[in-house]
Amino acid sequence: MYAAYATIVVPDGDEAKTQSDRALVEVLQAHAPADRWWIGYLDTGVADLSNIKGQHVSAYAGWTYVLKACGPRQVLAARDNGRSTPWHSALPELLFPHDRSWLVSTLWDDDWRCVGGPESLVEVVLAHRHIEAFAVSTDEDATPPGHQSY
């Protein structure tokens, strides 16, 4: 569906997670200047979603997400690293702009996220010094080196 894909490692430690999250949101915002994004928080019972208000929807293998529309500035404001699962970060598990020109997804049991979008977006993600990313294609395993897929 997208021209290019990458896998982004969720770093260890609050400071590194916050820095990587901010860098990714800046890159995404540069590639989707519209003020309307969709964000989704995976409702597993582990992460604290008590302050997240939105519509419950089912995606992937029937997993429930709390989905809401927001602006790029609100993406990092809804929760902090302490309210996410220990292997995720403050970022929502789903992010995409209204026009669906890119998608960022973090699955329940992975400590990395996948991004698909235009080549120009993925190239910036891969080159960013605060984002540990690896190029992937649709016919290969997206698991980053040194990580395990469950």
Which secondary-structure segment (H or E) carries 67?
Answer: strand 63-70
Residue 52's pLDDT is: 65
Instruction: Please state, in angstroms and rounded to a whole number, the distance separating the CA atoms of residues 88 and 83.
Output: 10
> What are the 10-residue block averages of pLDDT along the chain, 150 residues in total?
93 86 92 80 64 73 81 75 60 89 84 92 96 92 75
**What is the DSSP code string of 79-145?**
--GGGS-TTS-SS-SEEEETT-S-EEE--TT-SEEEEEE-HHHHHHHHH-TT--EEEE-TTS--PPT
Residue 45's pLDDT is: 62
Residue 18's pLDDT is: 85
The structure's pTM equals: 0.83
